[in-house]
Amino acid sequence: MNQRIQRILIGILSFTLYPSLCAESQDRQFYDAVRAEASGDLQLAASLYEEILLQHQSANLHANLGNIYYGLSDLGRAILHLRKSLLLNPDNRECRSSLASALKKSGLQAMPDRTNPLFAENLQILWGSSFAVLFWFGLLSLLWIFPWNIRSSSFWIYAVAWKASLFFLAWGWMDCHQQGTLLKREVIVLSSPPSPSNPPEKIPLRRFASEDSDPNTMLTTGTSLLIDMNNAGNPRIHQSPDGTIWYLVRSLDGFDKGWLIEKEFRKIIE
């Protein structure tokens, strides 16, 4: 009986302590990576960070990793991780300026503020909850304050104001949702890691899903693209006989369109 209780207690303890133990291990690995970076071993630091990324992420980790890739002149990955860091911590101004530097160095345009910050994708809950509050508040007020007295002018003024406010909030919510959907489709073009002998290569955006196909355009590493979706809302892909998966992508302005291999890009939100 005692042994059984002991086992149960050990089980409970392991269950409760497991997250903190895990947290300690990734913290330790993070500190190792910071030390490696400080000692100048950027490759080791990057591989340690990438190892942590298999399980966990944090804004600081992505920022440090972006910094390291910038140091290794792998601007595509630097831009990717700086973008990810900004998604997790949008208020990091240092990270934002670093991203601007990386984009400038790679010859790309600075990331435009696509929308008013009021309609940023991370404000969906605020817009949605405000919509719900206003919807129920208005409905209950109509039921409570103007009980079916549809002849009164104040009823109509109130109802119109309520509908207009609802429309505004719904529009804001939809705009935020659309930004979120676009972000889910957004990818960053990556090239194989450059070395002193191999400068960063340009990636061809092919007309057809084939290695032999002519490129529509040559993409600079770090370029943002959007994956094309079919009517069912799934990415438009093509699988070659050798098993390579091709994605149909287009530029943010929609002018350039073509096929990319899976390994030539990474999604910002995976």
Partner 1 sequence: MPCLVCLGNQALRVEARFEPSTISLTNITTYKVVVHGSQEPPVGSIPALPGLRFSPNPRTFRSASFINGVPSIRFELTFQVTPEHEGTFDFPSWSMRVGKHTSTAPSARLNVLPPNQSDRIRQAAEKQQQQDLREAAFIELNCPRTFLYEGETTEAQISLFLWERLPVTRIEQIPTKTGVGISMTELGQPNEQRNLRLKNKTYTSYSWTVGLTGTMKGVQNFSLSSILRVRVKAQRNSPLQSPFFNDPFFGFGREQGLEVKTDNISMEVRPLPQKGRPENFNGAIGSFTFDTSVDKNRVSLGDPVRLTLKIKGKGNFSAMPAPELSLGPNFRSGPPAFHFDGASSTMYGGEQSFDYVITPLISGLLEIPTIEFSFFDPELETYETLHSSTHSVRVDPSDDWVKPEVLNTADNSGQTTRPTPSLFQTEQEPGQWVSRINIPNPLYSQLFWIINIIGFTLFVFLLFRKMRNKDPWLEKLKLNDKALQVRLKDCVKLTDRDGFYQSLKRMIRLRITMIFPKTNISALSTSELINLLHTQGFPPNVTDEISQLLHLCETKEYAGSDRSDESLDSLFSRARQIIRQIK
Out of 80, 108, 172, 173, the only residue in the binding site for partner 1 (CB under 8 A) is 173
- Specify the residue, 186 or 258, whose C-beta has the smaller distance to partner 1: 186
Q: Which is nearer to partner 1, 187 or 268 (CB)?
A: 268
Residue labelled with tokens 């002519």? 214
Q: Does 174 help bind partner 1 (rule: CB under 8 A)?
A: no
65 burial level (CB within 10 Å; 0-12, 13-18, 19+): buried
**Judged by CB under 8 A, does residue 194 bind partner 1?**
no
User: According to the binding rule CB under 8 A, does residue 67 interact with partner 1?
Assistant: yes
Q: Which of 90, 95, 132, 98 lies closest to 115 in space, CA to CA?
A: 90
Contact (Cβ atoms closer than 8 angstroms) between residue 244 and residue 263 = no
Q: What are phi and psi of 166, to 5 degrees?
A: -60, -40
| Interface stretch with partner 1, choices 129-137, 230-238, 241-249, 253-261 (CB under 8 A) | 129-137
Give the integer Cα–Cα distance in Å for 205 and 210.
Answer: 11
Q: Is 86 in the site for partner 1 (CB under 8 A)?
A: no
- The Cα–Cα gap between 136 and 72 comes to 55
If the CB atoms of residues 183 and 190 are measured against partner 1, the closer one turns out to be 183
Please, what is the minimum distance in Å from the beta carbon of residue 102 to partner 1?
7
CA distance 242 to 252: 30
129 near partner 1, rule: CB under 8 A: yes
Say how many C-beta atoms besides its own lie within 10 A of residue 230's C-beta.
Answer: 10
Q: 58 or 165: whose CB is closer to partner 1?
A: 58
Give the whole-angstrom CA distance, residue 87 versus residue 3: 49
Residue 124 sits in the site that holds partner 1 (CB under 8 A): yes
> What is residue 248's DSSP assignment?
E
Name the residues that contact partner 1, by CB under 8 A. 23, 26-27, 30-31, 34-35, 37-43, 55-61, 63-64, 66-67, 70-73, 84, 87-89, 94-95, 97-98, 101-102, 121-122, 124-125, 127-129, 132-133, 135-137, 139-140, 143-144, 147, 151, 173, 177, 180, 183-184, 195, 268-270
